[in-house]
Amino acid sequence: MQPCSREMQAMALQELQIAAHDDFFDQMLSSLPPSWPDLGNPKSPWDLAGKPQDDPAGEYPPYDESSLLASRLRQHQISGGGGSGGSPAEKSMGLHLAQHQQMMLAAGMGRSSPVGAGDGGLIPMPLSLGNGGSSDSRLLLDRSRDEVDAAFKPPNSTGSEGIYNGFSSGSAQRMAQAANQQHFQGSPVPSQSFGAAPPSSGNTTTQAAAAPPRQRVRARRGQATDPHSIAERLRRERIAERMKALQELVPNANKTDKASMLDEIIDYVKFLQLQVKVLSMSRLGGAAAVAPLVADVSSEAGRGGGGGSGGSDSLAVTEHQVAKLMEEDMGSAMQYLQGKGLCLMPISLASAISSATARTTSSLIPSSLNHINSNNNNGGVGAGINGGDGPSSPSMSVLTVQSAMGAGSDTMKDAASVSKP
Return residues touching other proteins (CB under 8 A). Answer: 104, 232, 235-236, 238-239, 242-243, 245-246, 249-250, 258-259, 262-263, 265-266, 268-270, 272-273, 275-277, 279-292, 335, 338-339, 386-391, 393-394, 421
Nearer to other proteins, 82 or 285 (CB): 285
To other proteins, the closest distance from the beta carbon of 403 in angstroms equals 20
Give CA separation, 194 vs 90, 136, 304, 375, in Å: 15, 11, 76, 67
Of residues 40 and 391, the one with the C-beta less far from other proteins = 391
Give 11 or 246: the residue with its C-beta nearer to other proteins.
246
Q: Are strands 415-420 and 342-344 parallel, antiparallel or unpaired?
A: antiparallel
| Closest to other proteins by CB, 57 or 291 | 291
* Residue 417: φ, ψ to 5°: -115, 145
Give CA angle at 117 (113, 122), nearest 5°. 60
Task: Supply the minimum distance, in Å, between the C-beta of residue 254 and other proteins.
Answer: 17
Q: How far is the CB of 29 from other proteins (least distance, A)?
A: 30
**Measured distance CA(76)–CA(211) in Å, rounded:** 24
Which residue, 114 or 388, has its beta carbon nearer to other proteins?
Answer: 388
Cβ–Cβ < 8 Å for 42, 167? no
* Measured torsion, CA atoms of residues 226, 228, 229, 234, in degrees rounded to the nearest 10: 120
Among 193, 213, 148, 175, which Cα is nearest to 74's? 175
**Of 33 and 251, CB closest to other proteins:** 251
Each as own residue / partner, the long-range contacts of residues 310-316 (CB below 8 Å, 24 or more positions apart, any chain) are: 311/366, 311/368, 312/366, 312/367, 312/368, 312/371, 315/366, 315/368, 315/399, 315/401, 315/418
Min dist. Cβ of residue 337 to other proteins (A) = 12
Smallest distance, Å, CB 108 to other proteins? 10
Q: How far is the CB of 290 from other proteins (least distance, A)?
A: 8
